[in-house]
Structure 1
Amino acid sequence: MGFDGDVWRLMRQEELLGEIVIEEADFPWLSGRFVPAPAFGEVKPWFDETLALLEAEEYERFDASYDRIANALTLVAPSGPVAEFLLHVSEAHAWFRWSDEPFDEA
């Protein structure tokens, strides 16, 4: 699909939190190696919490928890920032989907 090796960046305003080196594309998901920047430690608990909520199948709580990530962070594709994304990070692995348009709330 042409994504292998691409580097996506996780940002908080102008601060780099980490990079995702794409290793697999399984539409609509991309996944790869997550390389955290030192500042990622500040938001790592957010990602840990959302994964725990997903594993517990507490979807309403997941939505509320994930809003913190979506509202504070930006995912930047090689071509520039994306409008919306759903990102999971676990240790050195990240997987996500994204859209150039906001996700449909319906």
Structure 2
Amino acid sequence: MSDHHGGTWRLHRRDDGVVLADLVVTGGDFPWLNARVDPREGLAEIQPLFAAELRLLDGIDEDVESWEHAYEAVRNAVTLQYPDGQEVPEFLLHIDGNKAWWRWSDEPFDEQNA
């Protein structure tokens, strides 16, 4: 298994695979990675999804269901790739301007047993 704690990860639009941004790892605090967002054409179209998710994240203790719906919209819009080009099975990604932070799992979450 390769080391996924550095390098450049890629954010893709789910429906057509277009690269929306390079996420250049700048550091992290396990289990989170931090990165600089190098935007590409198309990222601006989905930025409102990330902005809505972050707004709701601030009030997650009061309304977790609204945040879950907002994050589901993010996940339905994008995929994430490891630096080696493989798709990340499961991730929790936040983007705020030119900064991103995320955690990931090499295995999909089993929502039926959660």
TM norm structure 2: 0.84
1:19 is matched with which residue?
22
Residue 82 of structure 1 pairs with residue 85 of structure 2:
no
Say which is worse superposed, 55-64 or 91-100, in terms of deviation: 55-64
Bigger strand share: 1
Identify the range of structure 1 (18-27 vs 86-95) with the bigger mean alpha-carbon deviation: 18-27
CA RMSD of aligned residues (A): 1.6
- Output the CA distance in 1 between the equivalents of 2:110 and 2:29: 21
How far did 1:55 drift? 1.1
5+ residue gaps, structure 1 = none
Aligned to 1:53: 56
The offset of 1:56, in angstroms, is 2.3
How far does residue 104 in structure 1 lie from its aligned partner after superposition? 4.3
Q: Which shifted more, 24-33 or 81-90?
A: 24-33
Structure 2: which amino acid aligns with 1:47? F
Structure of higher CA gyration radius: 2
Aligned residue for 1:34? 37
* Count of aligned pairs: 105
User: Deviations for 1:67-91, whole angstroms, at most 9, x for unmatched residues?
Assistant: 1111221000112111011100001
The residue that corresponds to 1:62 in the other structure is 67
- The question of whether the paired residues in 1 share the 8 Å contact of 2:51 and 2:96 is answered with yes
Segments of 5+ residues of structure 2 without an aligned counterpart are none
Q: 1:44 to 1:104 in 2, by over 3 A?
A: same
Identity of aligned residues (%): 42
State the TM-score, normalizing by the size of structure 1: 0.90
